[in-house]
Structure 1
Amino acid sequence: MFQIYKSKMFWGAMVLVAAIIGFFTFMQIGPKNNIKLHQVPIALVNEDTDKNAEQIQNKLEDKFAGSNSQIKWVKVNHESNLKKGFDNKKYYAAFIIKKGFSDSIQTQTKLIATEVMQKKMAVVDNSSSTRSASPIVKQAKIEVKINQGMNASMSQALEKALPAMGNNIGAQISQKEQSILKKANISLTVDQMNVINSPIKVTTKNVNKIPSKSVSGMMPMLLTIFTWLGSLISSLLLWRTHNKQVNGQMTFKTISSQVLSGAVMSAVISPIIYFFIHTCFSVPVPTPATFIGLLFFNFLIFYFIQTCVLDLAGFKGWPLIIIVWFMAAGVLSYAPQMLPSLYRNWIYSWIPMRFSMDTLTNNLYFLNGSTSTFNSIIVLSVIGGVALLIMYITPLIHRKKS
């Protein structure tokens, strides 16, 4: 009964199970439990060069200075320059101090000064002389623009953080103004008091919007999963078929047959994926032909990567493919600036799935295109080319070992 405890297999199995659980815990729970914004590029636009606006700008820059700050401000001269930066994914959002900001704050200051002066004069004269007209007060304006298509999780975080930042600035100004009014025992009209209570009006606008029927912005990640899993199954089945035909003795002709069959499989599966998501579930696809082309490209690259591992290591290489996928699955849904440095630098930075997801994100959410698409295609092409080269030299490697 207790002989099993003397078996190396028992203790080996225990260590293996513990290692597997530890790995999956590290990859699936670690990133999610350590989410923290780090050096998120945000455009800072000051369209008002007067004193009050410059003070706000300086405070924001001082608050988020240093390499460990949550926000990395990117100065942009004019709001009109934002569009190109948004389309090219230079920043996740923009914080815009609107023109006339200082004038609006000055109207509030002028109102308070006028009311205080008239109060003092009334006390000195001890009369109810006719009051002069109070200045018209206006709210200063700050606009927040969220580059929503870049990342759904980051957009949700910034939609709360940036408007709250503007409201906090307004609360500080309001506190000073109300303190003066209270000390002088001055009452204002309802409209005037509303402006004093909220001296800054913060509005939020989304650009490169995520459509409503896009699984809350998770569609690019799901499509990456579909293409990876589809190519994974295809590579395994086709590898086994080719391997049986040549009794495990791979040749250049066999490799060429693998490449051709993978291309055919990619060409068939890509429009099927499009049919399911667009026709069956009404997911918006702005440019179907380009979209299907990207699916074909990504499917084929993944197929080359996985077939390369199978040709080189056989079925023993299968766990490596699964490990790479689980490493990617834990970090793909987050922007790199949300991940701990360990996951950002050692996992997110090199996994091929994130380049694939970038191409699909740009096609679905960036109608004007993005320069990052070309860069991602280049990286994937290099990865696929290396995998293809290894596939063709695999027969030589096996012969040398024999």
Structure 2
Amino acid sequence: MNVLKNKLTFISPIAVIAIIFIFSLTLIPSISPAPKEMPVAIVNEDQGATLPNKTDMNMGNTIIENIRSQAIPGQDSPIKWIEVNSFAEVQKGLNEKKYYAALMIPSDFSKNQVSLQTPEPVSPEIQIFLNQGMNPLAANTAGQVLNGMVDGINANVRTQLLEGFEMQGGTITTEQAALLVSPITKTVINVNEIGTKSANGNAPVTMFQPIWMGSIAGAAIIFMTISKTVFRNRKDKLVGVSIQVLLGAVLALIAGFGLTWLASTMLGLNIPKFGDTGLFLSLTYFTFFLMISAVLMWLGIKGIPIFVIMLFFGAPLLAMPPEFMSSFYRDWINSWLPMRHMIEGLRELFFFGKGFGWSHSVQMLTWIGLGSIVVLFGSVFKKGPKEDAAEQ
């Protein structure tokens, strides 16, 4: 049979296996991700206290020392503890996306713990701050670790109190008995909250695919129009490429503000700053459009699979904190993805109260766009088959 004689028949199994293998790799980051070295701040403002036997005690320092002793050199831990000097510094770090969470030991912690053995006990308090806007998954995971740690401290304090009461004859007041259940009060505070109508904090990721696919479609359509045009000389081609860039800018404004409107009305997402979000998405679309157009002008329409593969490899990583990725994905894939700057910029707009300004995300998108423009205009000096035919 002719079918069996066709070499494509024998190549097809290899192609199928290759495709399955490549796209299976895109699933690896989302399968049982384990956190490693998530930055969490700890601030100890405990002033200490004096015990009845005149010895000094500082439970805040004891907690810090216990945390240090649990760190094993050369071994990854879910939490990377960062000691901070003051609560003000913690707040600044949370707003600058340095920490996923923070643990604060207040100045009266030891004093209140000593009071637990007196007739008028006051429950000592530990505060846990979760930086939801930075990444909900990482913040919740860090919160679970911190909650478990405070529960462990509670168990130790409860044991110490029972031993102390037993030494005193076993008599305790009603207030003391009530506090034995949970001697230390744990207060969890969400900062840079994701709020409602945010797709559980994944609104930035939700808006990525429409922009990415729209930029591919826009760049491909305009490229095909340009490629069918016969340019007599480089000047004409320069004009053609300039028109291509201008059309991309128009499409960017339509796509940016159009998606912002659709997200707020049809998808029901909470868009805090409509104008700023529209401008940022327009910049994002324009950057992606220029990048894709530059590749197409040099490689032709066969360059499209590059950006489809980027979508499949990049999409699973966008909602995932870098600390949850393997070193390969974190260093060699995530760090090179241009779309991650879109997600970071939208998080700042949605959850950190920032507007459209010269932020790190805007800077990176701008530089990628400018680099793409240079490559795009560089294609003016590349001769195509139609130009060669026209010269003949």
Question: With structure 1 as the length reference, what TM-score do the two structures score?
Answer: 0.86
Q: Residue 364 of structure 2 aligns to a residue in which SS?
A: helix
Q: Which amino acid aligns with 1:221?
A: V
Cα distance in 2, alignment partners of residues 368 and 253 from structure 1: 38
User: Is 1:388 matched up with 2:373?
Assistant: yes
The 1:351–1:248 alpha-carbon spacing in structure 2 relative to 1, beyond 3 Å, is farther
Kindly indicate whether the alpha-carbon contact (under 8 Å) linking 1:87 and 1:370 is maintained by their aligned counterparts in 2. Answer: no
User: Is 1:258 matched up with 2:244?
Assistant: yes
Cα distance in 1, alignment partners of residues 12 and 63 from structure 2: 61
TM-superposed CA distance for 1:103, in Å, is 1.1
Q: Residue 130 of structure 2 aligns to a residue in which SS?
A: strand
Corresponding residue for residue 377 of structure 1: 362
Corresponding residue for residue 98 of structure 1: 106
Q: Deviations over 1:129-178 (max 9, x none)?
A: xxxxx532222210000111011211221232212211111112213333
Cα distance in 2, alignment partners of residues 195 and 38 from structure 1: 35
Cα distance in 1, alignment partners of residues 126 and 62 from structure 2: 14
Specify which of 340, 352, 363 is matched with residue 354 of structure 1: 340
Kindly indicate whether the alpha-carbon contact (under 8 Å) linking 1:34 and 1:339 is maintained by their aligned counterparts in 2. Answer: no
Corresponding residue for residue 41 of structure 1: 39
Matches within 5 A, 1:123-138: 135-138=119-122
Matches within 5 A, 1:140-159: 140-159=124-143
User: How many residues in Structure 1 have an aligned counterpart in Structure 2?
Assistant: 375
Cα distance in 2, alignment partners of residues 370 and 271 from structure 1: 14
Cα distance in 2, alignment partners of residues 201 and 261 from structure 1: 60
Cα distance in 2, alignment partners of residues 329 and 343 from structure 1: 12
Kindly indicate whether the alpha-carbon contact (under 8 Å) linking 1:87 and 1:369 is maintained by their aligned counterparts in 2. Answer: no
Kindly indicate whether the alpha-carbon contact (under 8 Å) linking 1:239 and 1:307 is maintained by their aligned counterparts in 2. Answer: yes
Specify which of 83, 98, 104 is matched with residue 91 of structure 2: 83
Kindly indicate whether the alpha-carbon contact (under 8 Å) linking 2:39 and 2:80 is maintained by their aligned counterparts in 1. Answer: yes
Q: Which amino acid aligns with 1:53?
A: G
Q: Residue 198 of structure 1 aligns to a residue in which SS?
A: coil
Matches within 5 A, 1:192-341: 192-246=176-230, 251-341=237-327
Percentage identity across aligned positions? 27
Of residues 137-146 and 153-162 in structure 1, the stretch that sits farther from structure 2 once superposed is 153-162
Q: Which amino acid aligns with 2:175?
A: D
Question: With structure 2 as the length reference, what TM-score do the two structures score?
Answer: 0.88
Q: Deviations over 1:361-400 (max 9, x none)?
A: 10111115699x7222222222211211111111323359
Kindly indicate whether the alpha-carbon contact (under 8 Å) linking 1:243 and 1:249 is maintained by their aligned counterparts in 2. Answer: no
Corresponding residue for residue 16 of structure 1: 15
Kindly indicate whether the alpha-carbon contact (under 8 Å) linking 1:232 and 1:303 is maintained by their aligned counterparts in 2. Answer: yes
Corresponding residue for residue 122 of structure 1: none
Gaps of 5+ in 2: 49-57
Kindly indicate whether the alpha-carbon contact (under 8 Å) linking 1:64 and 1:70 is maintained by their aligned counterparts in 2. Answer: no
Q: Which amino acid aligns with 2:140?
A: Q
Q: Which amino acid aligns with 2:367?
A: V
Corresponding residue for residue 51 of structure 2: none
Specify which of 135, 159, 163 is matched with residue 175 of structure 1: 159
Cα distance in 2, alignment partners of residues 369 and 92 from structure 1: 22
Kindly indicate whether the alpha-carbon contact (under 8 Å) linking 2:119 and 2:173 is maintained by their aligned counterparts in 1. Answer: no
TM-superposed CA distance for 1:248, in Å, is 12
User: Is 1:55 matched up with 2:39?
Assistant: no
Kindly indicate whether the alpha-carbon contact (under 8 Å) linking 1:163 and 1:203 is maintained by their aligned counterparts in 2. Answer: no
TM-superposed CA distance for 1:22, in Å, is 1.1
Q: Which amino acid aligns with 2:152?
A: N
Specify which of 1, 5, 30 is matched with residue 28 of structure 2: 30
Q: Residue 119 of structure 2 aligns to a residue in which SS?
A: coil
Kindly indicate whether the alpha-carbon contact (under 8 Å) linking 1:362 and 1:370 is maintained by their aligned counterparts in 2. Answer: no
The 1:248–1:322 alpha-carbon spacing in structure 2 relative to 1, beyond 3 Å, is farther
Of residues 44-53 and 257-266 in structure 1, the stretch that sits farther from structure 2 once superposed is 44-53
Cα distance in 2, alignment partners of residues 148 and 248 from structure 1: 57
Kindly indicate whether the alpha-carbon contact (under 8 Å) linking 2:208 and 2:342 is maintained by their aligned counterparts in 1. Answer: yes
Q: Residue 128 of structure 2 aligns to a residue in which SS?
A: strand
Higher helix share: 1
Gaps of 5+ in 1: 112-133
Q: Residue 367 of structure 1 aligns to a residue in which SS?
A: coil
RMSD, matched Cα: 2.5
Kindly indicate whether the alpha-carbon contact (under 8 Å) linking 2:41 and 2:82 is maintained by their aligned counterparts in 1. Answer: yes
Cα distance in 2, alignment partners of residues 240 and 399 from structure 1: 13
Cα distance in 2, alignment partners of residues 140 and 248 from structure 1: 81
Q: Residue 127 of structure 2 aligns to a residue in which SS?
A: strand
Q: Deviations over 1:25-67 (max 9, x none)?
A: 111x211124111111111111104221100111123324546
The 1:261–1:368 alpha-carbon spacing in structure 2 relative to 1, beyond 3 Å, is closer
Cα distance in 2, alignment partners of residues 22 and 248 from structure 1: 46
TM-superposed CA distance for 1:333, in Å, is 0.8
